[in-house]
Structures are given as structure tokens and as C-alpha cells.
Amino acid sequence: MHPQNQNIMTQEQDIKNAIEAMRKGGVILYPTDTVWGIGCDATNAEAVKRVYEIKQRDDSKALICLVDSDARLQRYVRNVPDVAWQLIDCVDKPTTLILDGAVNLAPNLIAEDGSIGIRITKEAFSHELCFRFQKAIVSTSANISGEPAAQNYRDIDPRILEQVDYVCWTRRQEHQPHQPSSIIKLSADGQVVIIRK
């Protein structure tokens, strides 16, 4: 199979290629349950550093990561509060939770207060990618910091396309509106703060 021939690129092959790139410490561009994302292995500090560089973003602004399941989420957060599970069960739009006590992730991915933004994705492609990669995957909007998020593949800045190691084929043809996720911060003491609706 020739990845350069997009007519015969299957989703299966696309996922294999993306995983191979991330296993080598590479950075990918991929469609998520929200906007297009810049991704990498969330446990690899060097790869995370490159994501900050590509976005031209200050690394004190923590990045979000995606996982495929409740069980995987528990590998990266020391104590998931009950309210988090209630929210996950009842929200109908993609919602990123900022949770205290991040563990097993690249140190430069975690906020200064020890929290991490994490989301369980239900969208077919990104869910399968996370499931097959068996680790959290960084997911930050595919834009230069301060510019609008790339809702579709065609919105991605050429400067970003040039700097990543692999660009997924899946959903490149889409032309429809996508919104960034809601963001809710849950403190260990039970405080709930809505950061982005």
C-alpha cells in the first residue's frame, strides 16, 4: 500500500502510520472529536516540547490529552473525583476535564499546579487511535497560538503542515463546523469551575 496515494489509504493504515510516527517520538496532525489536533505521545517530553514549538506557545500553558476509556484516564490521574464520572456520563458534547494529581505523563504536559486537561474521546477515528496506541495522546488545536482553531483539514496553517511528521488522511475532505471542547476544572476539594462552555 502506498500512503502517498490517498485513494487507497484505509483508516486502518492511517492509524498504523500515525502510531508508528508517535512511537518514534514524532508529531502528528489528526482529526478529533472536536477540531483538528496536533498530537504526540503524552508520555514523551521531547515530543511534547516540539508541539509547543510548532504552536509557538509558551509551555506554561498546559496542553490537553485524549484517552479512549475510563480505565485509561485512571492511569494518568491519581484520584479521579466522583463528580468527574458523573460529568462524563451526562455530558453530550466533548468535554475536557482539568483534574488534579496528574501522573505518568511528560512533566512539561502537566500544569504548574499538578493538574492535567484530559478528555475521553468517543469519535471513531481518535478513539481507535488512542485505543491502539495504548497511551494518552496530546491533543491541542492545530493552529499557531493566538490564531483560530482549525475546524477542518483545509483550515490548517501550511507552517504547521510542514513541521509535523505525519498528517492523517482520515476526514481530510470534511467541510463542516467543529467546536473546541467544553473545559471544566474539578479540584480535589470538590470545586467545579467552568472554564469554557
32-50 pLDDT, tens digit each: 999 999 999 999 999 999 9
pLDDT band at 1 (very low <50, low <70, confident <90, very high): very low
Rounded to whole angstroms, the Cα distance separating 190 from 83 reads 8
DSSP category for residue 180: P
Rounded to whole angstroms, the Cα distance separating 137 from 153 reads 19
Q: Stretch 92-97: mean pLDDT, rounded? A: 94
- For residue 188, is it within any domain? yes
Q: Stretch 138-163: mean pLDDT, rounded? A: 95
| Cα–Cα separations (whole angstroms), residue 42 to 31, 176, 194 | 17, 28, 24
Q: Which cell numbers hold the place of 109?
A: 504536559
- For residue 33, is it within any domain? yes
Number of structural domains (the chain) is 1
- For residue 1, is it within any domain? no
Task: Give the model's pLDDT for residue 5.
Answer: 53
Percent of the chain with pLDDT over 70: 96
Among residues 111, 17, 109, 26, which one has the least CA distance to residue 67? 109
Task: Give the model's pLDDT for residue 59.
Answer: 77
Rounded to whole angstroms, the Cα distance separating 187 from 86 reads 15
- For residue 88, is it within any domain? yes
- For residue 79, is it within any domain? yes
Helix (H, G, I), strand (E, B) or coil at 57: coil
DSSP category for residue 102: B
- For residue 37, is it within any domain? yes
Q: At what angle do helices 124-133 and 11-23 cross, to 10 degrees?
A: 40
> Which range of residues forms the domain containing residue 170?
6-196
- For residue 189, is it within any domain? yes
- 161-195: pLDDT as tens digits: 999 999 999 999 999 999 999 999 998 787 899 99
Whichever domain contains 141, its CATH number is: 3.90.870.10
- For residue 25, is it within any domain? yes
